[in-house]
Structure 1
Amino acid sequence: MALSRRDAMKAGAVLAAAATAPAAAAPVHHAAVKSSVPVAKPEASVRERLLLDFGWKFHLGHAADPAWDFGFGANQRTFAKAGYGIATSADADFKDDDWTAINLPHDWVVDLPFVPSTKSYKPDEEDPRAAHGFKPVGREYPQTSIGWYRKVFDIPASDLGRRIALEFDGVFRAATVIFNGYIVATSGSGYRSFRVDVSDFANYGGKNVLVVRVDASLGEGWFYEGAGIYRHVWLTKQDPLHIAQWGTWVKSSVTGRTATLSIATDLVNEGAVRTAHIVSTVFDPDGRVVATLKSPELNLGAGEKRTVAQTSTLSSPRLWSLEVPALYHVLTQIVAKGAVIDDAVTSFGLRTTKFDPAKGFLLNGKPVKLKGTCNHQDHAGIGAALPDALQDWRIAKLKEFGCNAYRTSHNPPTPELLDACDRLGMLVIDETRRMSSDEESLSDLEAMIRRDRNHPSIILWSIGNEEPQQPTERGARIARVMKRRCNELDPTRPVNAAIDNPDAWGKGIGPVLDVIGANYRTPKIPGFLATSPKSIVIGTETGSTVSTRGVYVRDKASGYCVAYDTEAPWWASTAEAWMKVAMPDSRIAGGFVWTGFDYRGEPTPFNVWPNVSSQFGILDTCGFWKDNAWYYKAWWGNEPVLHLFPHWNWTVGEKINVWVHSNLDTIELFLNGQSLGSRKMEPYGHVEWDVTYAPGTLEARGYKDGKLVLTDKRETVGAAAQILLKTDRGSLAADGEDAAVVAVEIVDAEGRVVPTASNLVSFKVTGGALLGVGNGDPRSHEPDKASQRAAFNGLCAAIVQASKSAGDLRVEAMAPGLKAAALVIPMKPAKPRAAV
């Protein structure tokens, strides 16, 4: 239930009683996040912020031929006359009947076919096209590197006099925004959020044509980036005197049982001279009003911008933590002549953070080891265009094996990912895209910090990753400028960068940083700290084991790695190698594994066709666990763990390397009831046996203090007989946005996963939409946007999305020769976000 304050604010005061009707808690998708608290969030009632995701049309353009690019640039007069002759697709009477109907977020590259190289490469060579997963995007592919988006919508006549703006959370890349025939904005970086005021160009009481040309001819990363309007777009309507975008900033300091809030509100007056005041109402995590602050009367001139500062003290604050991520909210209102003319809601958290040379990272005064993962932005089936529910799902999957920190590699993420980290309890390193002190790069850095600085999950600003200038004085000069800007915008968080050259820890950018990020070279960290005891170091990239889910026999020609913790590139290390150095050493604040999820592109260690995805992940591209996930769960978690692998379907007499990941004291292995001996589990290690295969049952028994605690079995399974469908969502919101991952298992007659099954599974979805499919195979060239997918080592997945009508979303899965399966997910009535 929303908290309406339109009437309450007529007298310029907030009725505390309104806080007794908190909003419904956000859904929690995983048992791993049961500890998160309800989010009772008030709502703005005057400002309109409308979702602009639905009802778009899309068409490819052409980077080299204006005739196929809707005339854009055809006569070299694109920027000659405002509102004239930009492109035929921007015309009000343009017919877009043959354009594809889409909703946002949207990534057109994921729909493109895989294209092999024309040159032959050896497995140990690197193919430059592999970096982006062999998708035809870039300067060599002008016919698939331009995308046009078009949406027609009404703006009521009653909006005349308000400020109308478009807000883009991210467009990849080089966006040209055309509104009613006028080029109203261009934006370079694909990771920057930006706002465009279109008040002067709107047709009030009529149709408005919004066209966005997106040029992905040039990339920003060396990994799959997708292309298109892959994040949300919003339409905002405000009074001429309003709160600026990202205009409320809440700083806090916690001392004992008291928290001091400093609230800064940026005002913009784009109208005539006005007199008004600010009312800031603070709500605790249960939705109760705990502070109401009223500023003096303010006289703002036409065109004036002003920052208003307010302070308050809270007693017995509820601190944000990993276990209980408590969120406060502030409702900021501008009141003029007794009426609220603009309002906004900002969430924040109360906590203390500190990096200490001897104790590492401290959260609320207690040492917390950073058990992190680095991640890119894409997911199987959908590319870079993730529904919000998938952001929550991915964070919850990481928390399942003990991960407590997330590095946004190597760019500012979508805002919804940070919202998920705030709600679910995940620490964050927020990273800008380019390490440079040029005007544009500093502007991108500023946009990231202004947008994100209220998130309690963020503990570090990262200004770069593995930059060539890292050991140089030039790099130091650039770092100093960037750090100074970070400190001006947010003095509450330290500044970090990821360094892959140990020489730069002690010179170049290293001494400039508050926290040195070490990419790999983990064994060198203790020696550096011994000679530089005041330095603070974290592993910003560690443990790059390359592994393929379900593969246990090394065959380089196959393009697959084994799922044991044995293979890493020359510059990296296995999980055990870095964990044994960093985890016991209190001086090392922790580490971020490269990576949490497999990702498209950069298909290490085989950077040649037909490999299209990386194999670094603890989880595959679908989010299925690899065996190393149990290793991290054993040493990052607090529960007893016992995981036995590999599967037990082999050739009789074959010698099989058997491993156990566990945090118990002693492991004993049995084959068909006969003991094969015990092994002692060393800290941050594993145990293994070489076993001659015989069909039957392989069993591991784990002991703690001499007592049996856990057992795990692998059985010889039969032929594939049926399909099982699973999801962790008990229901979906019928809002047209909510989504779920449906896991598909190919099982034998007794319901056991067949570890080598590759059956082609077909899907039918009714009551909702099938967004995409995947299977985690790093060599698969099957389309993501399809109604079928082959299982890979017994598993595949489908992503489904709810409709806007309550009822049942039904997923059916079929494969020749197998018993079909069906899964029903109820879609419950939900108030959709206000949309255009």
Structure 2
Amino acid sequence: MLPPRSTRTRELLRLDGLWRFALDAADAPRPYASTLQTRREAPVPASYNDIFADQEIHDHVGWVWYQRTVRVPRGWSGERVFLRVDAATHEGAVYVGDRLVAQHVGGYTPFEADITELAIAGEEIRVTIGVNNELTNRTIPPGTISVDERGRRRQSYRHDFFNYAGLPRSVWLYSVPDVHVTALRTRTTITGTTGVVHYDVEASGEAEVRVRLVDEDGETAAEAGGASGALSVPDAELWRPGHGYLYELQVELLADEAVVDAYGLPVGIRTVEVRGARFLINGEPFAFRGFGKHEDSAIRGKGRDDALLVHDFALMEWVGANSFRTAHYPYAEETLEYADRHGIVVIDETAAVGLNLGLGGGVHGVAEQAAFSPEMFDEHTQRAHAQAIRELIDRDRNHPSVVMWCLMNEPDSVEPGSREYFAPLVELARELDPTRPLTFAGEYRAHADTDSIADLFDVITLNRYYGWYSDSADLVAAERHLEQELRAWTDAYDKPIMIGEYGADSYAGLHSVLDQPWSEEYQQRLLETFHRVFDRIDAVVGEHVWNFADFQTSPGFFRVDGNKKGVFTRDRQPKAAAHVLRARWRG
């Protein structure tokens, strides 16, 4: 699905702002049929949970409703009109007037509807969007709904971040000509100093296709005709880490030699390859330095915010990071576009977190039943997971910053049933995009001699917490055990090893001269311990600290106001660990 753009043949309206807002109610079975009866207003984009000082809204499980009116621009007469929702966490239903025009399950990828017959140029339409935050064993991520003794519905899940819900990204109304570009796929190769942009264009009707590649100075670098082909650029300026050089692929559809549609797509010329235990970008070894992150901030929850986006990237530059993982779901497209422009490398992940009965909210335990079974994660879960992979790759395949797909985080990869579950998903991902390596983030029970799926992937990514969840307050033992495990992986596989998570919780302002967990100094020393081991293992090609910033988790006694593993606080102030990383990564 192409992101909406304003071009000489297309126009768009961003429908961000305050919408009427109400919880689902039994006495209002069709809230979309008329003006929503509520005095509440909720901002879009934002998660709704922390906006109101209301426990019922914060803890709500089920549907909520957003509504607003919008006037269709009078200049859109004769155009096709689409309504697009960038994300509805985790299920969305869109109505124009009282007609259902779109439904979608999956909280982090966009969906849209052609509403041409309902959108009369110059007239107002009423848009109502229902959003359901329920997670079950048939959703990605999974969860469980229960009812307590007072009849209240409760949501539980096995991932360690709060289940923020609502409309966290933008809603759009946009116009296109009747015959228009519907899909555009690119890949790039390099031969000597010549960059090649391979492209495929799909359109809604018959039209001649003309393409042109333009450099950042507006000069034509190459041009061609036809719905598919290759554009060769001698002495191409390559996209590379720290240098986000982008060409623009300009596509025109023509009928009787007149342009009927125009669409432009930024393109970065670069290659990605795994060769033995090395990860190569443009044929050069690349070492990942950065973080697992979250779309998380006070009040907004997972709501997209441009000021926060720019500030977070500025902090990553300050600390010397060159990459991040979209833990544990696809991030907003604006985030990837920013990474494209600024040369930041991205590992792009599906929302498949929590496929592990031995983990719950970050706590390690023992599984009491098989995870991959008819009673738990079954063929319905697998189909939802497959759809999440399709939508992730379809949305993000054209981003040069995305160098690897991560298909899941900390699944149970020890259980024999895991291979039967995951192998078809790996095959699907390779079929959809054979140009990028694949990985998954493995949890602590899956060692080189117990993991059952690592051979299916190109890069071994390990989430490891020696010195925290194991060997707590004993960094000597942590260093020894970490090195033993990493050497076992290198002996078993000739593949790059990526440390997808490592770190420790710390409370800003808590200090100790001793190895005292939760102190800033302990977080510092734990990171330094891991770094010594990384530097002794040649196969380690990357280190992503968990986490960039403190983030909110589900309420409970295990987490006090969220997860504190950030090297920045939730309001983005540096802890002592940030200076350790800056000295290492910039030095």
Same fold (TM over 0.5): yes
Asked whether the equivalents of residues 6 and 12 of structure 2 are also in contact (C-alpha less than 8 Å), the reply is no
Which residue pairs with 1:212 in the alignment? 129
Could you tell me how far apart the structure 1 residues matched to 2:538 and 2:306 are?
A: 36
Deviations 1:81-127 (A, max 9, x none): xxxxx33x432xx2767342x54212211224486xxxxxxxxxxxx
Alpha-carbon distance, 1:501 to partner = 3.9
Tell me the amino acid that sits aligned with residue 324 of structure 2.
Y
Q: 2:402 aligns with which of 427, 451, 458?
A: 458
Alignment pair present for 1:288 and 2:219 = yes
Q: 1:178 aligns with which of 60, 70, 95?
A: 95
Could you tell me how far apart the structure 2 residues matched to 1:622 and 1:545 are?
A: 18
Could you tell me how far apart the structure 1 residues matched to 2:461 and 2:85 are?
A: 31
Asked whether the equivalents of residues 57 and 96 of structure 1 are also in contact (C-alpha less than 8 Å), the reply is no
Asked whether the equivalents of residues 361 and 370 of structure 1 are also in contact (C-alpha less than 8 Å), the reply is no
Shift of the 114–601 alpha-carbon distance from structure 1 to 2, 3 Å rule, reads farther
Could you tell me how far apart the structure 2 residues matched to 1:602 and 1:626 are?
A: 23
**Which runs of no fewer than 5 residues in structure 2 stay unpaired?**
142-158, 356-378, 467-481
Which residue pairs with 2:23 in the alignment? 61
Deviations 1:729-774 (A, max 9, x none): xxxxxxxxxxxxxxxxxxxxxxxxxxxxxxxxxxxxxxxxxxxxxx
Shift of the 171–533 alpha-carbon distance from structure 1 to 2, 3 Å rule, reads closer
Which residue pairs with 1:225 in the alignment? 163
Alpha-carbon distance, 1:603 to partner = 8.1
Which residue pairs with 1:249 in the alignment? 185
- Equivalent runs, 1:14-413 vs 2, <5 Å: 44-54=7-17, 56-62=18-24, 65-67=25-27, 71-72=28-29, 86-87=30-31, 89-91=32-34, 94=35, 98-100=39-41, 102-113=42-53, 137-138=58-59, 141=60, 146-156=63-73, 159=76, 161-218=78-135, 220=141, 221-244=159-182, 247-269=183-205, 274=206, 276-295=207-226, 308-358=227-277, 360-413=278-331
Which residue pairs with 2:342 in the alignment? 424
Alpha-carbon distance, 1:487 to partner = 1.7
Asked whether the equivalents of residues 175 and 188 of structure 1 are also in contact (C-alpha less than 8 Å), the reply is yes
Please state whether the residue corresponding to 1:66 is helix, strand or coil.
coil
Alpha-carbon distance, 1:525 to partner = 4.2
Alpha-carbon distance, 1:526 to partner = 3.1
Equivalent pairs, count: 519
Could you tell me how far apart the structure 1 residues matched to 2:282 and 2:536 are?
A: 21
Tell me the amino acid that sits aligned with residue 39 of structure 2.
D
Tell me the amino acid that sits aligned with residue 485 of structure 1.
L
Could you tell me how far apart the structure 1 residues matched to 2:185 and 2:211 are?
A: 12
Higher relative contact order (CA 8 A, sep 6+): 2
Alpha-carbon distance, 1:479 to partner = 2.3
Tell me the amino acid that sits aligned with residue 574 of structure 2.
W
Deviations 1:667-722 (A, max 9, x none): xxxxxxxxxxxxxxxxxxxxxxxxxxxxxxxxxxxxxxxxxxxxxxxxxxxxxxxx
Could you tell me how far apart the structure 2 residues matched to 1:163 and 1:48 are?
A: 11
TM (norm. structure 1) is: 0.58
Which residue pairs with 2:568 in the alignment? 619
- Equivalent runs, 1:793-812 vs 2, <5 Å: none
Shift of the 504–280 alpha-carbon distance from structure 1 to 2, 3 Å rule, reads farther
Alpha-carbon distance, 1:218 to partner = 3.8
Q: 1:591 aligns with which of 538, 543, 547?
A: 543
Could you tell me how far apart the structure 2 residues matched to 1:423 and 1:158 are?
A: 32
Could you tell me how far apart the structure 1 residues matched to 2:131 and 2:440 are?
A: 30
Alpha-carbon distance, 1:394 to partner = 0.7
Please state whether the residue corresponding to 2:126 is helix, strand or coil.
strand
Alpha-carbon distance, 1:535 to partner = 2.7
Deviations 1:21-41 (A, max 9, x none): xxxxxxxxxxxxxxxxxxxxx
Alpha-carbon distance, 1:45 to partner = 1.0
Q: Superposition RMSD on alpha carbons, in Å?
A: 2.8
Asked whether the equivalents of residues 495 and 539 of structure 2 are also in contact (C-alpha less than 8 Å), the reply is no
Alpha-carbon distance, 1:192 to partner = 1.9
Alpha-carbon distance, 1:372 to partner = 2.1
Please state whether the residue corresponding to 1:45 is helix, strand or coil.
coil
Please state whether the residue corresponding to 1:475 is helix, strand or coil.
helix
Asked whether the equivalents of residues 196 and 269 of structure 2 are also in contact (C-alpha less than 8 Å), the reply is no
Asked whether the equivalents of residues 80 and 178 of structure 2 are also in contact (C-alpha less than 8 Å), the reply is yes
Alpha-carbon distance, 1:137 to partner = 4.1
Asked whether the equivalents of residues 495 and 513 of structure 1 are also in contact (C-alpha less than 8 Å), the reply is yes
Shift of the 200–390 alpha-carbon distance from structure 1 to 2, 3 Å rule, reads same
Alpha-carbon distance, 1:385 to partner = 1.1
Deviations 1:416-458 (A, max 9, x none): 1111211222111100112787333222211111111111111
Larger C-alpha radius of gyration, 1 or 2?
Answer: 1
Tell me the amino acid that sits aligned with residue 510 of structure 2.
V
Could you tell me how far apart the structure 2 residues matched to 1:356 and 1:579 are?
A: 24
Alpha-carbon distance, 1:215 to partner = 2.1
Alpha-carbon distance, 1:584 to partner = 4.1
**Which runs of no fewer than 5 residues in structure 1 stay unpaired?**
1-41, 73-85, 116-134, 296-307, 568-572, 639-836
Asked whether the equivalents of residues 114 and 136 of structure 1 are also in contact (C-alpha less than 8 Å), the reply is yes
Shift of the 49–136 alpha-carbon distance from structure 1 to 2, 3 Å rule, reads closer
TM (norm. structure 2) is: 0.82
Shift of the 157–368 alpha-carbon distance from structure 1 to 2, 3 Å rule, reads closer
How many percent identity over aligned positions? 24
